[in-house]
Structure 1
């Protein structure tokens, strides 16, 4: 049992290191959670459009996310957490290398939203998405610089929009 717990801890740490965790620009605003999505990037490996790269600045905060109500996901270059109370997607860039951390948030009801950090490791910011209650979201990261993308992560698990539990 002790050996199994040790391996589970190591596997969890490895998953967190290969996932992603940055300062944020808001994604294309989702003004109506029930309306059609206005994001343009459905396959981030494809050429990035101007709409996908030009993001307004997200709400800046000194405090960061409430860690008791947040699902974290991260890598050595960026991190995010989904805060189900308020439907906020927090993002923070961890390296001052000119590449912005971008989190792609996908719902199980057909929405794709993006939240982009500033490329300067300046602390936590968030994007406020109005998700439907009782649905599920998942997210992944990549880095963006001058329309070029790199370092795509795997998708996170699906999490409930009401309580943050696994879907």
Structure 2
């Protein structure tokens, strides 16, 4: 009887800890209002790149929130992404970002009219210095930063807000998982 009690207490404690960690670690989604932006400290060596308007006729990703689609790891492994597919789509309040493996293009989308710009940080798994692609084109627009990453490497995206007047970055922020530069998962 005493052993059952210990098991029940352990289960309740575990569930409570899991619920608390999920509550504390949940990132803001694209359409949540910011309860006050908090400054993000960036390393001094991070290069800031101003994004350009996509070339005419480019197949831009959608700025609309994405519906939760069922995921099949087996289907994803078999299906090779199209050349213009935007991988690692990631969003936080006011910003959306993704990576197009054909051409190594970083897309930064601005989804909020708040006087700030969308920012998409790009980090590699092979030691290349981090860069941030800034979209200064205004709300409901995409900007692109054309890069050249090592084909055998992976990139990870970090989306957040940027205030061009002060040169400061703000959260809420969100990170993508690792994205293969060659597009082959």
Which category describes the TM-score, using the shorter chain as reference length?
0.5 to 0.7
Q: Is the alpha carbon distance of 1:102 and 1:122 closer, same or farther for their aligned partners in structure 2, counting shifts above 3 Å?
A: same
SS of the aligned residue for 2:169 comes to strand
**Match of residue 15 from structure 2:** none
Provide the C-alpha distance between the structure 1 equivalents of 2:126 and 2:110, rounded to a whole number of angstroms: 28
State the superposition RMSD in angstroms: 3.3
Provide the C-alpha distance between the structure 2 equivalents of 1:137 and 1:47, rounded to a whole number of angstroms: 18
Match of 2:153 among 135, 139, 155: 135
Instruction: Specify which structure has the higher proportion of strand.
Output: 2
SS of the aligned residue for 2:120 comes to strand
Structure 1 segments, 4+ long, off by >6 Å, are none
**Match of residue 126 from structure 2:** 109
- CA shift, 1:65, in A, is 4.1
Unaligned runs of 5+ in 2: 1-25, 32-39, 63-80
- CA shift, 1:57, in A, is 4.6
Which of structures 1 and 2 has the bigger CA Rg?
2
**2:43 equivalent to 1:60:** no
How many residues are paired up? 128
TM (norm. structure 2) is 0.57
Unaligned runs of 5+ in 1: 1-14, 22-43
Provide the C-alpha distance between the structure 1 equivalents of 2:44 and 2:170, rounded to a whole number of angstroms: 12
**Match of residue 144 from structure 1:** 162
Provide the C-alpha distance between the structure 2 equivalents of 1:160 and 1:108, rounded to a whole number of angstroms: 10
